């Protein structure tokens, strides 16, 4: 039996508001942590304290994620700016007589 392989190219990855998405998720994890914190005794009595610490871990990892995606976004913008010509008309400094 032959292995099936796709005959078309993979589509380009979708780019969206990545920084806003990660920031929103981080805020949501932190809010969930704060909402559950007053009920720590109940969670402790029922053996569910890991729920609280999972929310805190999600918020902490989200902060790392925000740092990462902001750096990634800045690198993509720098690469795009470097690929564009210096002047919109396509003229360079040498063709304009500037050193």
- Min mean pLDDT across 2-6, 8-12, 79-83 is at 2-6
Exposed, middle or buried: residue 29 (CB in 10 Å: 0-12, 13-18, 19+)?
buried
- What is the structure's pLDDT at 16? 87
State in Å, rounded, how far the first CA of the chain is from the last one. Answer: 66
The structure's pTM equals 0.69
- What is the structure's pLDDT at 10? 82
Q: Per-residue pLDDT for 58 more than 80? A: yes
Confidence of residue 3 (pLDDT cuts 50, 70, 90): confident
What average pLDDT does the segment 22-48 reach? 96
């Amino acid at each position: 039996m032959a292995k099936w392989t796709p005959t078309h190219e993979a589509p380009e990855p979708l780019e969206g508001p990545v920084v806003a998405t990660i920031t929103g998720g981080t805020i949501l994890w932190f809010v969930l942590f704060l909402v559950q914190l007053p009920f720590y005794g109940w969670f402790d009595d029922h053996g569910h304290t890991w729920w609280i610490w999972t929310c805190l871990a999600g918020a902490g990892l989200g902060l790392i994620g925000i740092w990462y995606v902001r750096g990634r976004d800045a690198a993509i913008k720098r690469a795009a700016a470097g690929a564009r010509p210096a002047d919109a008309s396509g003229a360079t400094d040498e063709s304009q007589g500037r050193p």
